[in-house]
Amino acid sequence: MDQSTQANAEQAFAHLAAGNQRRRVSFGFAERRAALRALSETITAREAEIIEALSADFAKPEAEIRLTEILPVQSEISHTLRHLKRWMRVRRVFPTRAMLGTKARIIPESKGTALIIAPWNYPVGLSLGPLVSALAAGCAVVLKPSELAPASAAVIADIVGEALPEDLVRVVQGGVEVSTQLLEQPFDHIFFTGSPRVGKIVMAAAAKHLASVTLELGGKSPVIVGPGADLKKAAKMIAWGKFANAGQTCIAPDHVFVAKQIEAPFLAELKAAIAKMYGKTEEAQHASRDLARIINPDHFARLTEMIAEAEAEGARPLTGGASKPESRYIAPTVMMGTDPSMKLEQEEIFGPVLPVIPFTDPDEVLARIEAGPKPLALYIFERDRSLIERLRRASTSGAVGINIALAHYLHPNLPFGGIGNSGLGAAHGHYGFLAFSHERAVLENRFAPLGMLMPPYRGARIAKLAQ
Ligand code: NAD
């Protein structure tokens, strides 16, 4: 283990932890608001650098950077500024009969020091978004962006360094080694976004210090296109949800179950939607400025091998299938004829490849979803309300999108998070604030007749209190 890495991690933690007690008193509403405003202004001032960095990391289209990286962080800040005073408010709660004569309050307090570990796929949004919640809650933060999007990590460090004092937020850059060292420090809360595999490592590390965790993980998010779906709208939504960021989105539709009786017209609409968004021909799609590239050669190889394995075993692309290693380009690809033994149906795809699987009975689909790990998102495209409700009630997932994909991420009043393998806890808005807060119970005795709770016990009076 590199000693300077260890020293850096220890120093970053110690520096923040030293200020914890002081911050409890001095980092109130006005100071948090000032920090959030400074962050927002610096992001605005450095927008061009953010766009440049994300383009350098994986040719992410400028409109997608604005829509999926900058807008969510700025909306998170404005939503938080609008509601923070209320979220921070002390709440009185009523006494029960046994507690008459006492005054009870709940005070949301900062958990203290927080570690945020971010992934590469939305490097800015998934670093700075949780940071907004942590600052709102009054935490000091060490933020570790992903090493796989290095230009973005550098711009994040610059933004944070300019907007916020070093004893409040530190960006520590690096990969697994740095992450491991940071996880050894006794942070009060760890907010991790990434794969379920690393989520388990994070939770085990947190257990050593009994730190609380928020785990924003991934997995396969299925789509069900029912017989009553509006096929044109469904196809458009699914194509956008899947191929935005070249499918490198935690809540991207992973694969589609389509009702057999509408399979052919659905596929025609899907093909048309892809052609409209990214171009009709292979050349046009490659030249499209609206399609991101795969993050690195390893992920590119993983995806092309998945496609090749499926093709070798009899699956075929309805559209797409082409790839260019030199630019890490993979065409928007729809795969037909996959089966459960193939990696495409087993692993989170996390790329622009969409298996479409026909079904005749919705119960088959429900059974297949139930047999796998709990999804982060489940998407249902259908107009028949009773079928929608049946599918929703018989399934579980972090979130459900009904005739919509991805957009629940942008709704600040919804908790964003998974369940089981797809995550633990929630982010965004008030839920993000609560993730970094401790709801401290305060009970004050005013004139409570508590003597009756003490020996010598009088059973009858105690029994009466319990009624
Ligand atoms: P990842 O788990 O490989 O890495 C995430 C972070 O963990 C990085 O900062 C990395 O440096 C660090 N890390 C990696 N290995 C580690 C180890 N052994 N010990 C300690 N730290 C380690 O994930 P990724 O490839 O960056 O992102 C893709 C995954 O993230 C997908 O599964 C995706 O679904 C998920 N994801 C989830 C959300 C969400 O909000 N739920 C959002 C984006 C991505």
What is the biggest distance separating any 2 CA atoms in the chain, rounded to whole angstroms?
Answer: 88
pLDDT value at 450 more than 90: no
d(CA 17, CA 7): 15
Element housing 440 (H / E): strand 437-445
- Angle of helix 125-137 versus helix 150-163 axis, rounded to 10: 30
ipTM confidence score: 0.97
Residue 250 CB–ligand 1 contact under 6 Å: yes
Residue 114 neighbours by CB under 8 Å, 6+ apart: 134, 139, 140, 141, 142, 187, 188, 189, 190, 191, 436
Task: Write out pLDDT tens, residues 398-427.
Answer: 999 999 999 999 999 999 999 999 999 999
Residue pair 257/359 in contact (Cβ under 8 Å)? The answer is yes
Dihedral of CA 323/328/333/336: which sign? positive
- Which numbered atom of ligand 1 lies nearest the CA of 118? 9
The tokens describing 392, both together, are 């929703």
Residue 319 CB–ligand 1 contact under 6 Å: no
Residue 84 CB–ligand 1 contact under 6 Å: no
- Reported confidence tier of residue 2, pLDDT bands at 50, 70, 90: low
Residue 179 CB–ligand 1 contact under 6 Å: yes
Nearest CA-CA partner of 404 in 251, 299, 264 = 251
Residue 129 CB–ligand 1 contact under 6 Å: no
The tokens describing 368, both together, are 């297949």
Residue 218 CB–ligand 1 contact under 6 Å: yes
- Reported confidence tier of residue 453, pLDDT bands at 50, 70, 90: confident
- Which numbered atom of ligand 1 lies nearest the CA of 409? 40
CA nearest ligand 1 atom 12, residue? 176
198 CA from centroid of ligand 1 (Å): 6
The tokens describing 108, both together, are 């949301």
- What is the pLDDT at residue 451? 82
CA nearest ligand 1 atom 26, residue? 119
The proportion of the chain whose per-residue pLDDT surpasses 90, expressed as a percent, equals: 93
- Which numbered atom of ligand 1 lies nearest the CA of 218? 34
CA nearest ligand 1 atom 23, residue? 194
Nearest CA-CA partner of 6 in 179, 208, 128, 138 = 179
**Burial level of 398, CB count in 10 A (0-12/13-18/19+)?**
buried
d(CA 207, CA 191): 14
Q: List residues with catalytic annotation.
A: 216
